Amino acid sequence: MTRIENVFVETIRLRADYCNAAVSFAELTGSVVAIVADRGDSSGPMVGFGFGSIGRYAHSEMIRERFARRLLVADPAEYNDTDGLIDPNRMGSVMRRNEKPGGHGERTAAIGAVDMAAWDLLGKLEHSPLYRTLAKRFNGGEYDSAVAVYAAGGYYYEGDGLARLQHEIISYLETGYQSVKIKVGGVSIAEDLKRIDAVIDIVGSPTKVAVDANGRFEKAEALEWAKALEPLGLCWFEEPVDPLDFDGLRAVTEEYPLALATGENLFSKQDVKNLMCYGGMRSDRDLLQMDPGLSYGLPEYVIMLDYLESLGWSRRQCIPHGGSLFNLHVAQGLKIGGTEAYPGVFEPLGGFGELVAIEEGKAQAPELPGIGWESKPELMECFRKLGKDGQITF
């Protein structure tokens, strides 16, 4: 039996001095989490690390007072599997006790942070890189040898210009990326079309360039944008309307024949079900970007994937938001369509770390036990500080 002995959590600040069409990230924070567990044998305490996925601020109090507390007062029998290892599914059930239905925001990222640390711990307990642990549990042991990744950047910066944007895109291509995504909707259509053209010029093909409006438009404006974007033949058009404006999204699907993408701001299976019922999304071309770390963790994400497959969708249409090393393992181990990458943004949480090379637009998770945070030294430093003034050494 494995007992969770402690859960440590602290808030850190991200480095993110830029904007999308809806928000500035300059004050963005996140929660870093350590779960300390003991297997009850001579192996001593083990530690798993995780963080609250990117873009929705820290939830340290919520983790401490609600979700970690419920785990710490639970009988380990409530969250162990039959092999005496922690079971993140059962941990999720413990954490979600006495939570009212609906209102799937914030707590979804708080639980996601603890869940991420649980998977790191489980990989370490199994002496296995997380993607293999996931493949064993969810995929009959099968995993992808590499994952399609795209560089998400093209934010709006103070004193921005096309030269800076092109320079940024060149750096992605030089790193090994082939596909990129940039933000739109923060300036006029005419100005954004110039930005898109400047990026296509660098990348070489519109089919490797996606644009993201971050839910900024009302239906009418989204339709105007769809009309302007269609001739470009882009890879996808992301969040043309508010993430919960299913009526607006359906209208865009009726006018825009190319791929749309959404889902990064839907944090529960029930919200995804509503997207499927009412949003008009097309399984033969559209993309779904739900992020397990923002959505109560991997247990809920797997429920989403099963639900989508029951509707005839392929899980290859799922490409999570978030650009984290965790999601790289998830994509590889669950054989989904790929994952977002954040080269150089949202550090220290964003990015795949030093051991992950991008080759021809693909990446492989590191062959370290668990998530392999050791390959992200700056983040590892944040995790180590959770050890409370050296009281505990990780």
CB 237 within 8 A of CB 258: yes
Measured CA to CA, the distance from residue 251 to residue 220 in angstroms comes to 9
Q: Least distance from C-beta 177 to a copy of itself, angstroms?
A: 24
In this complex, which beta carbon is closest to a copy of itself, that of residue 39 or of residue 250? 250
In this complex, which beta carbon is closest to a copy of itself, that of residue 200 or of residue 386? 386
Measured CA to CA, the distance from residue 120 to residue 291 in angstroms comes to 17
Q: Least distance from C-beta 154 to a copy of itself, angstroms?
A: 17
In this complex, which beta carbon is closest to a copy of itself, that of residue 122 or of residue 276? 276
> Which letter, b or e, does each residue of 224-259 get, where b requires 16 or more Cβ atoms within 10 Å of its Cβ?
ebbeebeebebbbbbbbbbbbbbebbebbbeebebb
Q: Least distance from C-beta 387 to a copy of itself, angstroms?
A: 21
Q: What is the phi/psi pair of residue 10, to 5°?
A: -140, 160
Ranges of H-type helices in 206-279: 219-229, 246-255, 269-278
Query: If DSSP codes are grouped into helix, strand and coil, which group holds residue 383?
Result: helix
The vertex-221 CA angle with 217 and 225, nearest 5°, equals: 100
Q: What is the phi/psi pair of residue 318, to 5°?
A: -100, 120
In this complex, which beta carbon is closest to a copy of itself, that of residue 72 or of residue 170? 72
Residue 264 identity = E
Measured CA to CA, the distance from residue 328 to residue 134 in angstroms comes to 12
Q: Least distance from C-beta 5 to a copy of itself, angstroms?
A: 21
In this complex, which beta carbon is closest to a copy of itself, that of residue 278 or of residue 394? 278
Q: Which two tokens stand for residue 320?
A: 């999570």
CB 18 within 8 A of CB 156: yes
Of the candidates 340, 346, 292, 303, the residue with the CA atom closest to the CA atom of residue 319: 340
Choosing from 321, 329, 335, 376, the catalytic residue is: 321
**183 has catalytic annotation:** yes
- Residue 47: CB atoms within 10 Å: 22
CB 108 within 8 A of CB 303: no
In this complex, which beta carbon is closest to a copy of itself, that of residue 130 or of residue 272? 272
**104 has catalytic annotation:** no
Q: Least distance from C-beta 112 to a copy of itself, angstroms?
A: 12
In this complex, which beta carbon is closest to a copy of itself, that of residue 95 or of residue 365? 95
Task: Kindly state the helix (H) or strand (E) to which residue 51 belongs, with its residue range.
Answer: strand 45-51
Choosing from 59, 183, 208, 376, the catalytic residue is: 183
Q: Least distance from C-beta 53 to a copy of itself, angstroms?
A: 11
Of the candidates 38, 70, 134, 21, the residue with the CA atom closest to the CA atom of residue 365: 134
Query: Contact positions toward a copy of itself, by CB under 8 A?
Result: 11, 22-29, 55-62, 65-66, 97-108, 214-215, 242-247, 265-268, 270-271, 273-274, 277-278, 294
Residue 322 half-sphere exposure toward CB, CA atoms < 13 A: 35
Q: Least distance from C-beta 311 to a copy of itself, angstroms?
A: 13
Catalytic residues: 183, 321
